[in-house]
Amino acid sequence: MSTEQTAAAPVAARALAADDMADLARGAAILGSGGGGNPYMGQLIAERALTDHGDAQLVDVESVPAEAVILPLAVMGAPTVFQERLLAGDEVHRAITRAGIEAGRSVTHLMAVEVGGVNATTPIAPAVEMGLPLVDADLMGRAFPELPMVLTTLAGRTLSPVVLADDKGNVVTIEAVDSDWSERIARVVAVAMGGTAVIALPVIAGADLGCVAVRGTLTLAQQVGATVRRSREEHRDPIESLCTKLGATRLFHGRVLDVDRELTGGFVQGHAVIEGVPNHRRKEAGHSQTDKLVVDFQNEYLLARQAGAPVATTPNLICVLETETGEPVPADVLRYGLRVTVIVAHCDPRWTSAEGLALVGPQHFGYDCTFSPLTNH
C-alpha cells in the first residue's frame, strides 16, 4: 500500500508539539530509505523552536485555501556534511523571504519537499517562528537524491526559480531553463556553500496542491516512529510491527560484511554487502550463511541484489533497520558488523507510472535493470 493509504484519516488541523518530534524524526528516517540526512539534528532544532514558540499548526491538504501560497523547503547537500553543521536558522528565513519576493506574493504556508530524513523537520522551526501553518504533506512520499524528483516535475512544472541560502548570509536565486539545469546549478552552489544549503522550491498555489502532494506524510512519519517505539516498550518485534503498519515486505536479515562508500559531487555513493544470518526473532531458520544481499545507494538505498539479480528497486522504499531495535540505518552511517534487516515498502503509485519510472526508476540511476514490483520474499 502507498504512503497515502497507510496514514490515518486526515483532520483539518492539529497541533504538532515538541514531544512529537522524536517519533516523527524516527519515522522520517525510515521513510527516507537511507537518505534525506540524519533527522536527529533537525529534531533538536524543531524541538527547541516548538518549546520556545508553541505548537505548530499542521493542516491537511484539503483544508488549504485555493488562494494559499505554499513554499516547499529542504536542506540540499551531502548528509554527512549536515551531521557536522547545524542550521543557524537565519538562512531558512532568508530563503523564505527571497522566495516570496521571487513569487511576488507573501508565503502563507510551509511544507516539506520530502518526508525522508532531516527534511521532514526542516520547515517546522520556521513555521512556528513565523506563525505560518505547516502542510501535512510532501512532494515525494520518501526521499530521493535529485532535485527534479518531485511530483511537481511529474506534473510538468519546471523547478525555477529556486532559492538557496547558507549560514554565512549568502542567498542565491537560480532561474533555469528546466528542472535538470536547476539541479545541476543548485548542486554546484550547495557544494560552494560548504556542502549543504537550505533550498526553497517554487511556490505552489493552494488550488494546485492536491495534484502534486503526497498527503498525510508528516502524520505517517510520526505514526511509523511511534510504532517502532511502542513495539519495543511492549517487547514485540518492532520490524514485524513496522511491516504491518507500512504493508512492507521483510526482504533480508544479516550482518554487514562490507561497505564501499565515497562522497562524490554532493552525493554519498556506494554499496553494502550484507551476509545472511539466522534471525532468532522468527521461527524460520532465516538465510543461510552463504546468502548475501548487495544494496546500492546514492544518498538513498536504490537497488538490492541477490546473486546479481535485482530483488528490490527504486522507487519502492528500501529500508535498512537495526534488527533488534528497528531503528533506521542511513546509508552514510552503515558500518561493518551491524546486524540489520532490510524491508521494502510501496512508494506512492504515481512513481510507478511510465513517466514516474523515467524520472526515479533504476535505469535513471544507471542500473541495468527495470523496476522490480514489491512481492513476498
When pLDDT is averaged across residues 1-16 and rounded to a whole number, the result is 60
Q: What pLDDT is attached to residue 13?
A: 85
How many angstroms separate the CA atoms of 285 and 282, rounded? Answer: 8
Choosing among 3.40.1610.10, 2.60.40.420, 3.40.390.30, 3.40.50.720, the CATH entry for 3-218 is 3.40.1610.10
For the chain, which residues make up each domain, given as ranges? 3-218, 237-365
CA distance 173 to 110: 19
One DSSP character per residue, 34-85 reads T-S--HHHHHHHHHHHHHHH--EEEE-GGGS-TT-EEEEEEEEE-HHHHHH-
Which residues share a beta bridge with 258? 273
Element (H, E) at 322: strand 317-322
Query: What is the distance between the alpha carbons of residues 142 and 374, in angstroms, rounded to a whole number?
Result: 16
pLDDT score of 38: 80
Q: Residues 169-208: pLDDT tens digits? A: 999 999 999 999 999 999 999 989 988 899 999 999 999 9
The residue that leads in pLDDT, 37 or 254, is 254
Q: What is the CA radius of gyration of the chain?
A: 19
pLDDT tens across 244-289, in order?
999 999 999 999 999 999 877 667 899 999 999 876 555 444 444 4
Residue 54 gets the label, from left (phi > 0), alpha (psi -120 to 50) or beta, of left
Q: How far apart are CA 17 and CA 160, in angstroms?
A: 33
Please list, in sequence order, all residues whose beta carbon lies within 8 angstroms of the beta carbon of residue 138, skipping any fewer than 6 positions away.
72, 111, 112, 113, 114, 115, 119, 120, 213, 214, 217, 218
Predicted model pTM: 0.91
According to CATH, the topology of domain 237-365 is CV3147-like (2.40.390)
Q: Mean pLDDT across the chain, nearest whole number? A: 91
